[in-house]
Chain A
Amino acid sequence: MDFYYGLLQIIGMHTILGLSAYIVLLTGQVTLAQAGFFAIGAYIAGMLTVLAGWHLVPSMLVAAVVSGTVACLVGFPALRIKGLMLVVATMAFGEAVRLFWFNFDYQRSKGEALVGPLGGEGFKQIRYFPENGWTTGEVATFVWIWVALIMAALWWIDRSRAGAVLRAVGEDELAAQSVGINLTAVKVTAFAVGGFIAGIGGAIYAHYTTHIEHSNFGVILATFAIAYPILGGLTNVVGTLLAVIFIQGFLVEGLRFLGDWRNLLFGALIVLAMNVRPRGLIDERAMLFLRRMFGLAKRGTNA
């Protein structure tokens, strides 16, 4: 059972990472900075629990606030550019963050050992969960409480005026601006919220793996972060969750028994999924179908 709880933890963490990119993608911005915010959350929360001896929850919140603040600060200059230039700029930011942790040393004595980040050798012994007697089931529950809270918050935002504003900017910036929407404010806010969410994901990740190092937060993680909402579809947050289950649960874990063939199938199945569902796993038609199935929409209703 522990294995399935562990898998739930992985899916939960990646869902949070995907949701951090989801809100930015709603404004039409493609970002590769999420791995950087994830890293900031991981290192800050790890330092607070290991070096300062804080409880995990306040550590996570502080880590998320720091990530969100950095995202806000980065957002102002970065979001003045668009499209491919923004992709390159955010990727450069992500790499800068990774290299910062690659060179960052801050260790203190704890018992007989030195603990804390040690540059390229990483940050070990982030053992909050086992040291406090948390079972894998309890950790999985904890992770999924965060996933549920974040999904509920984003679901609510999506259905509020704020969500309409985000989507308006994402659909047509010129039209949004012409009706008085402040584009910079909207984009920077989405970026900051995305950074906050990624910070929470990173904090959980650090305590899940117990050891983090710069190489965990590279371009591949950043690519996964945007791949989840794109593959899942931007209709609502459930798509991101489904995409994570598809990639982490099925492609990575479910196909492990295939050995070397798994890596070949991995890319091929993603390409296939994108071809079969070009607007994401959960698009408007799928939502309409689901609504009808659960009796929430009448026949003839448009998506």
Chain B
Amino acid sequence: MKLSKLLLTTAAAALAVTGVSVSAFSADREVKIAGFGAKSGVVRSFGVNTEAVMKAAVKHINDKGGIKLGDGTMGKLTASFDDDRCNAEEGISVLRRIASTDAVVAVGPTCSNVAEPLFGILQKKVDDASDSGLQMPIFTDTAIKGGLAKISQWAFRNVPNETVMYQTMFKWLMGKHPGIKTIYGGVEEDFAHSRFTWYKVMKVRSAEAGYDVKGESKWLLNDTNFTTQVREMKKAKPDAIAISAHPFTTCGVLKEMQRQRVKPKLLIGLTSSSSLETLNGCAKQAEGIIIPTSFAPVTDDARAAAAATAEMGGSADLHSAAAWEIVLILADVMEKQGIMAKPDTLQADRRKIRDGLASLKSTAGLLGKIKRTEEGEATKPYLYVHAKTGEWAVLHDPSQQ
């Protein structure tokens, strides 16, 4: 008798709980965005900042009431963030985990060496029944190596086009400093982004602009001693030095350049180094370094995003600020595509988001209008900034030419 009572009570409680959750579900549905990236290792700061930006952007949208779903009800955005340790295997595992949850879209990863395999496991062409690849939309904020989104029609990126940025910057620099004729490179050889950017972008575009490229010194992401590389730079006696490396080794090289008294007339950096990490690590040595970037707090929206991110304990920079734009773009696409955010519409919602992203021709961005390409890439507005007394200051706005 006691057992029957217990069972009845349990069943009633379960029904009550289920009833409550069903009513809660229909009243205020959750739309889950799953972020992932590197939150450990030498690129940890990228993931930490992206997570803060994502959470700030989600709060920004929810404070305005959330997003309107396909059946007219309002849905609240939620954001999670997983660490992939900048490791391809872990990145794949994290994405599969995300795909097994009720997340409608994934935002990430940080590293290009993770993005490339991740995009590879996605279905290459939509509706290709012979391709069993994963059908999950991914919108990338940080992994910047050129041309990755074309790997899959489920992959999209909101990263700047470095080729265009450096092409115009080298031309502008040539006009601005006609006396500077020779350039020498420094490249973080084992990191996909920095390597690609030196050999396929900086080296080629600087030569096109009329610079005499005298060679390059190479080092690795985990290197801490740059004596030989800087000695090579010194020996080449270039007018300008272009460093294609992330903040950690950029600072190491700059400090060694100071020690060996290597003072080029012009110092150029990698997009990823236009961040707070570089200034925290070597503001004095980085003084004057010029970098093209797709983010600076120069508009009201950009300042608001930077302030909201700071409240979340992060820093908005070239990479992380892209996550803010991504969340806003996604919210807009979700509303326009009328996603339902119900368990039984999960795959349909993912498909709607993919189709919505693929159909975009342009979107709003923190610095202005962002154009979208057919391959899922972005052409973002950009500026040239330079390190000035411990801060990034705008040096030139190419759109004003």
Contacts and interface: CB of A to CB of B under 8 A. Distances in A.
Contact of B40 (A7, A215, A260): A260
B88 A211 contact: yes
A68 to B, nearest CB: 24
A83 B89 CA distance: 32
A122 B116 contact: yes
Interface in A1-39: 1-4, 6-7, 10
Interface string A110-135: 00000000001110111101111111
A211 B132 contact: no
Interface residues of A, number: 38
Given A127-B133, A209-B92, A259-B83, A214 B123 contact: no
Interface string A31-61: 0000000000000000000000000000000
29 contacts: A2-B99, A2-B134, A3-B96, A4-B100, A6-B93, A7-B96, A10-B89, A121-B192, A124-B116, A124-B120, A124-B151, A127-B120, A130-B121, A130-B132, A131-B124, A132-B130, A132-B132, A133-B131, A136-B96, A208-B89, A209-B89, A210-B120, A211-B120, A213-B192, A216-B88, A256-B94, A260-B40, A260-B83, A262-B83
A263 interface: yes
A260 B116 CA distance: 24
A129 B132 contact: yes
A239 to B, nearest CB: 22
Contact of B132 (A7, A133, A210, A253): A133
A2 B192 contact: no
A96 interface: no
Contact of B190 (A1, A120, A211): A120
Residues of B contacting A: mostly: helix
Contacts of A210: 117, 120-121
Contacts of A130: 121, 123-124, 131-133
A252 interface: yes
Interface string A248-265: 000011001001101100
Given A210-B117, A216-B88, A10 B93 contact: yes
B131 A131 contact: yes
Given A130-B131, A215-B190, 16 more contacts: A3-B99, A7-B96, A121-B196, A124-B120, A127-B124, A131-B131, A133-B132, A209-B88, A209-B121, A210-B117, A210-B121, A211-B88, A211-B113, A211-B117, A259-B83, A263-B85
B83 A253 contact: no
B97 to A, nearest CB: 5
Interface of A: 1-4, 6-7, 10, 102, 120-122, 124-127, 129-136, 208-211, 213-216, 252-253, 256, 259-260, 262-263
A213 B96 CA distance: 21
9 closest Cβ pairs, A-B complex: A210-B120, A130-B133, A211-B117, A3-B100, A6-B96, A209-B117, A3-B96, A211-B116, A3-B97
Chain B CB within 10 Å — which of A131, A133, A211, A215 has the most?
Answer: A211
A7 B113 contact: no
A129 B117 CA distance: 13
B90 interface: yes
Contacts of B332: none
Nearest to A210: B120
Contacts of B131: 130-131, 133
Nearest to A1: B100
A208 B92 contact: yes
Interface in B132-151: 132-134, 151
B377 interface: no
A102 B190 CA distance: 9
Contacts of A124: 116-117, 120, 151
B55 interface: no
A8 to B, nearest CB: 11
Contacts of A136: 96
B189 interface: yes
B113 to A, nearest CB: 6
Nearest to A7: B93
Contacts of A127: 120, 124, 133
